[in-house]
Amino acid sequence: MTEKIHFQCQIECSYLCCGGATVVTLPELKNFYRFFPITLAFQKVYPLDSYHENYIKDITFKYGDFYIIGDFIAGNRFNKKCRYLKNSLCVLHGKTKPLQCKIIPFSVTFPEKYQDIVIKERRKSAFKKCKGFMVNTPLIWKGFFLEESLRFDFEQLLKGLMSQRDIMEKIFKASNKSINFSKFLLSKSGILELPLTEELINELFCRGYIEEPVDFLKYQKNLFIRELMSNSSKNSVFSEALNIIEKLICSCSCKNN
């Protein structure tokens, strides 16, 4: 039986949703590379049934027996709170807010009609203390989204994941020499996080997702340095990412001289 979902974000518990990192897609990179350090992440997706399996084929790729989805991580996933959460309010709220944040508490890795399953599972863990699920809050889903803006953001995020599927598959297959690659394949869950490579940055520029590589690199360098200098940073991938960026900036400088 489909369960109706009542929800309205409450600022008192916004820290539960607004962790150190969010997800952005290719079309969103232009908006957020000045705000967040960007890395790559891969996760396994397990289909619930044949309908779900057909749905995820557009946003995942098959590797062995697994369906894998690739994302651009914006921020530091090891931080407890997003840097742009001030006094429990999102500084980026509005048109510049990441689509992933706009569709909370829902998940685009599941079809629209399966979102009650998503919420049921999340309320057992991540959203266990969330105050947004109350009967007296607005009804926003009853087998489908009732708000057009929510459906629009959900569909835009889905399209973004579709647009980057081929790039993510290519990167994943090329990362098989990474230290954590085999470990990721053997684990049931977990994340394989990787830095952006020179080839990827060039491809993003050629495809028009980055307007100016040097500008992108300089912003990213400063953001990674900021995170690495923070006492709360525990992300080992950031050091590797910074090394790659510094080499690319040096390379760009040499070409211009």
Q: What are residue 123's phi and psi, to 5 degrees?
A: -75, -10
122: left (phi over 0), alpha (psi -120 to 50) or beta: alpha
pLDDT exceeds 90 at position 142: yes
More confident residue, 164 or 2: 164
pLDDT for the residue 178: 84
Q: What is the pLDDT of residue 114?
A: 96
Question: Scanning the structure block, which residue is given the tokens 């109350």?
Answer: 134
Q: Which amino acid is at 33?
A: Y
Say if pTM beats, i.e. exceeds, 0.95: no
- pLDDT tens for residues 2-26? 689 999 988 878 878 888 999 999 9
Predicted confidence at residue 163, as pLDDT, reads: 94
- For residues 167-180, give the mean pLDDT: 91
**Residues 38-95 pLDDT 10s:** 999 999 999 999 999 999 999 999 998 999 999 999 999 999 889 998 888 888 877 6
Q: What integer best gives the mean pLDDT of the chain?
A: 90
At 244, the pLDDT band (50, 70, 90 cuts) reads very high
Residue 233 pLDDT > 70: no
